[in-house]
């Protein structure tokens, strides 16, 4: 059975009518329609459609970007369609995974996506290695300098102030105060051990 999926972005002045007509003309017996951003994964009609698929069905869309604007999501949806034993067809791009050339086209798209992910990983690793070699480490900068951290630890440990008071004073969380105290105790303990 041919199953259509039509989507327009929420808030657009568009409607699904033109897409629905094209899908009906293509022979779709059932059409799932929704208003949602193509960049969001939380789309009830899309998930309903994916759950409805049976072996031998074909999902039909007017255009590939109606399925999703994210290549990663498109490939994930394609895997779900394939796992159900169904095919996929895009009317505008003339992609049809029920044909050998259509399957080859989707495999090429998947290969380019995998290549892109590998290049991003490679560039990220190279950037991190360079930063480490220059003495830089990742993460946020510490909000408190060593002097302030010592003041917090000594104030709480001496009983002059409570952990809650120090957290409010320095605008940090109580777990952060606890970590500062634990680090201080560890440093002091190492100093006595030497």
Active site residues: 9
What sign for the dihedral angle of Cα 24, 26, 31, 36? negative
Q: What letter would DSSP give residue 12?
A: -
Q: Measure the CA–CA gap between 61 and 89, rounded to whole angstroms.
A: 6
SS3 121: helix
Closest among 70, 26, 68 to 49, alpha carbons compared: 68
Do residues 92 and 64 touch, judged by C-beta distance below 8 A?
Answer: yes
């Amino acid at each position: 059975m041919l199953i259509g999926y039509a989507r327009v972005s929420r808030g657009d002045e568009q409607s699904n009518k033109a897409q629905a007509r094209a899908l009906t003309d293509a022979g779709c017996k059932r059409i799932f329609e929704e208003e949602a951003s193509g960049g969001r994964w939380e789309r009830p009609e899309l998930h309903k459609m994916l759950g409805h698929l049976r072996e031998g069905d074909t999902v039909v869309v007017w255009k590939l970007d109606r399925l999703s604007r994210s290549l990663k999501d498109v490939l994930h949806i394609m895997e779900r369609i394939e796992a159900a034993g169904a095919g996929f067809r895009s009317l505008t791009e003339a992609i049809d995974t029920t044909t050998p050339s259509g399957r080859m086209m989707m495999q090429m798209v998947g290969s380019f996506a995998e290549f892109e992910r590998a290049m991003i990983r490679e560039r990220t690793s190279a950037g991190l290695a360079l930063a480490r070699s220059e003495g830089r480490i990742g993460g946020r900068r510490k909000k408190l300098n060593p002097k302030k951290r010592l003041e917090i630890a000594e104030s709480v440990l001496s009983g002059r102030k409570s952990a809650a008071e120090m957290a409010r004073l320095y605008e940090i969380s109580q777990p952060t105060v606890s970590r500062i105290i634990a680090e201080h105790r560890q440093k002091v303990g190492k100093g006595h051990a030497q």
